[in-house]
Structures are given as structure tokens and as C-alpha cells.
């Protein structure tokens, strides 16, 4: 194989890996926004239930709080901002711009239903989007060899059942049926591939893939006293093998190279297991407080393997760490039909340092401040609205693509996220 072909193949593998790493980063950016009812208190009561059908997402055992039939549906509109700061530099991108605001807003829907079969047994189903990512940079920006566009979405369908073992103890289980899909683009440094002194226009690769896979959730809810309940949920890890196509757009001198021919591509994406625990206490008939923990086992995500249709495999080292989220919140029924909610949370990033932070998801530790309002329209119907502002800690990036023609992106990011949620609930 000649020098041109060696560099071309190395670059193709590297770009594919960079693109598919974005999917793993999307999994790292787990979406908490499963409903607007919990959004109002920063999901501090995630595993303890919210007395609506949407509570089954955080803990299937929480379905015990529903008598008869309950239905819930809503949407959370997420507005992220990620901006690379002016001091940034790239070894291959020159000074062609910082890419603008890479955050892409998205509407995240949810729906759920719970039905009481008998005095002790309930069944339900929920539709949520537990993982997602949308970032987009200007095409000519200095980090274009790392990322241009990233769009990842994981849809989860969860049939569930709960059973009251005793008046105080309830157990529940869900089957998590997931569809993951992604569209990711990056630029290719054509000049570096050929080794020519004459500058060539960039090439581009677009990778699209999807997969169906299945996991499970187990939960327990303990009514410790009339005023206090404690919930615990385990959510299994889920292994996805994303299958799709890699489509290349290259300058004429490289367009005929078999190394840049459109071809199938696959990547293993392992979503880690997680454990959630919440304690909710009723201080009075109108005032309730909650404390919640969410541990995610990101240390299982050590590497990303990409498989080319030619049989060649490449591995990217990730070295992520386990992450812990801590939340406190509460609600106050200040009038017969009105409920005020508030909460705060601190959320750790699984990305260990600047070396493993990527442009697709410049993730960092974050702090939540949430508030919400609920209105009971009638005995059967209620509506909840929520708002959250998330401060992302300033983060640094010093990421180097793993190939024979590496590109290094250095700099710092600033970011924030705003979330607006609306939920409609019904009991029959």
C-alpha cells in the first residue's frame, strides 16, 4: 500500500471514530427531562414517585401511587449553549472561526399510562427520550476535523408492572426497549492526506446509523411511615451496535480512492447502568421535601470500537469515570388548586479531563436551579409547568484525534442550558 493510501485509510478510520465517539458522548449527556412535573424540583424525587403516571419512568414501583387509570403527556424544550472561547487553536484548522454557538435546541416529548389491575397490581407504559445530543458548528470552523454536526437520539419504550408485597412495600420492573439513531459529520484534511504542498479543499464524511436494543429496570418503594417514603431504582446497561453508512465527499484527486468510497460502518455503544435513590417527606399537609441521588457507572465506558466494512477495527480510549448527581427539592400547595415547586442539583460530568473532552460534547460539571407550578383544573385533570437553568462550569479541551494524521484542538468552552416544560395529567 503506497503512502497516499496509508494516510487515506488512516484518516478515514480516524474520522469515523471521531464521529462515532460523538454517539458515546451523547450517552454521557443523559437527558433527565422525562417530564415537566419532576422538572420543577430538579428531579429530586426521581425514585420516590410524583403521584402521576410519569413517575414510573424514575421507578416502576411508583405506579402504586396511582388508583384507577392515569395518563400523562408533555414536552420539555431544551435550549443549550456551547461556545468555544477566542483563545482556542487547532493544529490543522488554522484560524478560520470558533464555530459560533454549537448548541442546538430540541423538543423532548414524553407520554405514559398506568392502569390498576387489582388492589395490588398495576401495569403501565412510558415513552421517553433518555439520551440525546444536538450540536452544530459552522462548516469552516477551526475544529472542523473534530466535529461539524452531531445529532443523536435514543427513544425508550418501557412496559412496566408493579406489585404491592405488603401495605408498605412495592416492587416494580420495566423492560426498556430502545432505538438509538445518529447523524454525525466531520471535515477531512485533504491536504494532509495527500501530503502535497498545494492546498486542497476539505473533504467531508457523514455517518448515519441506528439500532434497537433491550434492557431492564428494577425498583422498590418503601412507605416507611405515613409521611415518609423511600424509593430505589436500578437501570441496567444497554449494549447498542449502531449500523449504518459512511458517506464521503472528497476533492477530485481523492474521490476515486477506494479508501473514501461510501461503505457500511458499525460501532458498539454501551449505555452504562445507573442507580437512583430518593427520599420524600411530608412536613405537613401542604409542604413536601425530597432528596435524591443518581449514580451512573460511566467507568464501564473505557473504549470505543469502530468496525469498517473492510474488516479493519480501530479503538478510541475514553477512560470515563463514574458520576454522581445530587438533588434537593420540594413542593408547596399554597392554595387548593395550586402547587409551587422548586429544586436544585449538582451534576458531575463523566469526562475526566481536557484530553478526553470532545467538540461534539464539551461536557462539564453543572449546577441546576429549577422551579415549577402545578394547577388542578378538575378532579381528573391537572397541568404542570417547569423551568430550569443549568450553569455549566467552564471547561478546557485538549483533544487529539487518534490517526496517522492527528489534529489537536485546544481551548476552553463556556456553556449553559435553559429548559421549559409543560405536562398534562389525567386520572380516571
**More confidently predicted of 151 and 280:** 280
- In tens, the pLDDT along 393-408 reads 998 999 887 776 788 8
Q: Look at 28-32, 39-43, 392-396 and tell me which has the smallest mean pLDDT.
A: 28-32
pLDDT of residue 28: 53
- In tens, the pLDDT along 87-119 reads 888 887 666 788 899 888 989 999 999 999 999
pLDDT of residue 26: 30
- In tens, the pLDDT along 118-129 reads 999 999 999 999
**More confidently predicted of 342 and 362:** 342
At residue 18 the predicted structure's pLDDT band, cuts being 50, 70 and 90, is very low
Do residues 32 and 276 lie in contact, with contact meaning Cβ atoms separated by under 8 Å? no
Q: How far apart are CA 330 and CA 344, in angstroms?
A: 10
pLDDT of residue 183: 85
Domains of the chain: 3-427 (2.40.160.60)
At residue 22 the predicted structure's pLDDT band, cuts being 50, 70 and 90, is very low
- In tens, the pLDDT along 284-336 reads 999 999 999 999 998 877 766 667 666 666 666 677 889 999 999 999 999 99
Q: Look at 46-55, 61-70, 194-203, 232-241 and tell me which has the smallest mean pLDDT.
A: 194-203
pTM of the model: 0.89
pLDDT of residue 93: 62
- In tens, the pLDDT along 166-189 reads 999 999 999 999 998 888 888 888
pLDDT of residue 42: 96
**More confidently predicted of 305 and 359:** 359
pLDDT of residue 17: 44
Average pLDDT over residues 354-364: 84
At residue 27 the predicted structure's pLDDT band, cuts being 50, 70 and 90, is very low
Backbone phi, psi, residue 210, to 5°: -155, 170
At residue 383 the predicted structure's pLDDT band, cuts being 50, 70 and 90, is very high
pLDDT of residue 269: 75
pLDDT of residue 95: 61
Q: Is the pLDDT of residue 263 over 90?
A: no
**More confidently predicted of 344 and 352:** 344
Q: Look at 199-203, 234-238, 372-376 and tell me which has the smallest mean pLDDT.
A: 199-203
Q: Is the pLDDT of residue 275 over 90?
A: yes
What percent of the chain lies above the pLDDT cut of 70? 88
**More confidently predicted of 74 and 364:** 74
pLDDT of residue 55: 95
**More confidently predicted of 194 and 236:** 236
Displacement of CA 334 from its chain's centroid (Å): 34
Displacement of CA 123 from its chain's centroid (Å): 27
Mean pLDDT of the chain: 87
Amino acid at each position: 500500500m503506497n503512502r497516499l493510501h496509508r494516510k487515506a485509510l488512516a484518516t478515514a478510520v480516524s474520522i469515523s471514530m471521531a464521529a462515532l465517539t460523538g454517539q458515546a458522548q451523547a450517552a454521557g449527556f443523559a437527558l433527565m427531562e422525562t417530564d415537566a412535573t419532576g422538572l420543577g424540583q430538579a428531579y429530586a424525587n426521581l425514585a420516590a414517585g410524583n403521584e402521576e403516571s410519569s413517575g414510573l419512568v424514575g421507578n416502576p414501583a411508583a405506579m402504586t401511587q396511582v388508583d384507577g387509570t392515569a395518563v400523562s403527556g408533555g414536552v420539555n424544550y431544551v435550549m443549550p449553549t456551547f461556545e468555544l472561547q477566542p483563545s482556542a487553536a487547532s493544529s490543522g484548522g488554522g484560524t478560520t472561526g470558533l464555530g459560533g454557538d454549537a448548541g442546538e435546541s430540541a423538543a423532548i416529548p414524553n407520554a405514559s399510562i398506568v392502569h390498576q389491575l387489582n388492589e395490588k397490581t398495576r401495569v403501565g407504559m412510558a415513552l421517553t427520550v433518555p439520551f440525546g445530543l444536538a450540536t452544530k458548528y459552522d462548516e469552516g470552523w477551526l475544529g472542523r476535523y473534530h466535529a461539524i454536526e452531531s445529532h443523536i437520539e435514543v427513544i425508550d419504550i418501557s412496559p412496566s408492572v408493579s406489585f404491592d408485597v405488603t401495605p408498605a412495600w412495592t416492587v416494580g420492573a420495566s423492560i426498556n426497549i430502545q432505538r438509538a439513531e445518529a447523524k454525525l459529520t466531520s471535515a477531512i484534511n485533504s491536504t494532509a492526506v495527500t501530503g502535497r504542498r498545494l492546498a486542497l479543499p476539505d473533504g467531508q464524511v457523514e455517518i448515519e446509523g441506528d439500532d434497537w436494543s433491550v434492557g431492564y429496570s428494577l425498583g422498590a418503594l418503601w412507605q416507611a411511615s405515613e409521611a415518609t417514603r423511600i424509593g430505589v431504582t436500578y437501570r441496567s446497561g444497554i449494549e447498542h451496535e449502531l449500523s449504518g453508512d459512511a458517506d464521503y465527499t472528497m476533492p477530485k484527486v481523492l474521490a476515486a480512492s477506494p479508501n473514501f468510497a461510501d461503505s457500511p460502518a458499525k460501532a458498539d455503544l454501551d449505555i452504562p447502568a445507573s442507580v437512583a435513590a430518593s427520599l420524600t417527606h411530608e412536613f405537613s399537609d401542604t409542604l413536601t421535601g425530597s432528596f435524591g441521588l443518581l449514580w451512573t457507572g460511566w467507568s464501564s465506558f473505557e473504549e470505543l470500537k469502530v468496525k469498517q466494512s473492510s474488516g479493519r477495527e480501530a479503538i478510541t480510549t475514553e477512560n470515563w469515570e463514574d458520576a454522581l448527581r445530587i438533588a434537593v427539592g420540594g413542593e408547596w400547595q399554597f392554595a387548593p388548586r395550586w402547587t409551587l415547586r422548586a429544586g436544585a442539583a449538582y451534576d458531575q460530568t463523566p469526562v475526566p479531563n481536557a484530553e478526553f473532552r470532545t467538540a461534539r460534547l464539551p461536557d462539564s460539571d453543572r449546577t441546576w436551579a429549577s422551579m415549577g407550578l402545578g394547577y388542578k383544573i378538575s378532579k381528573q385533570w391537572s397541568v404542570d409547568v417547569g423551568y430550569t437553568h443549568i450553569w455549566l462550569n467552564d471547561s478546557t479541551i485538549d483533544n487529539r484525534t487518534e490517526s496517522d494524521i492527528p489534529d489537536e484542538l485546544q481551548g476552553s468552552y463556556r456553556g449553559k442550558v435553559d429548559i421549559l416544560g409543560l405536562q398534562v395529567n389525567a386520572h380516571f
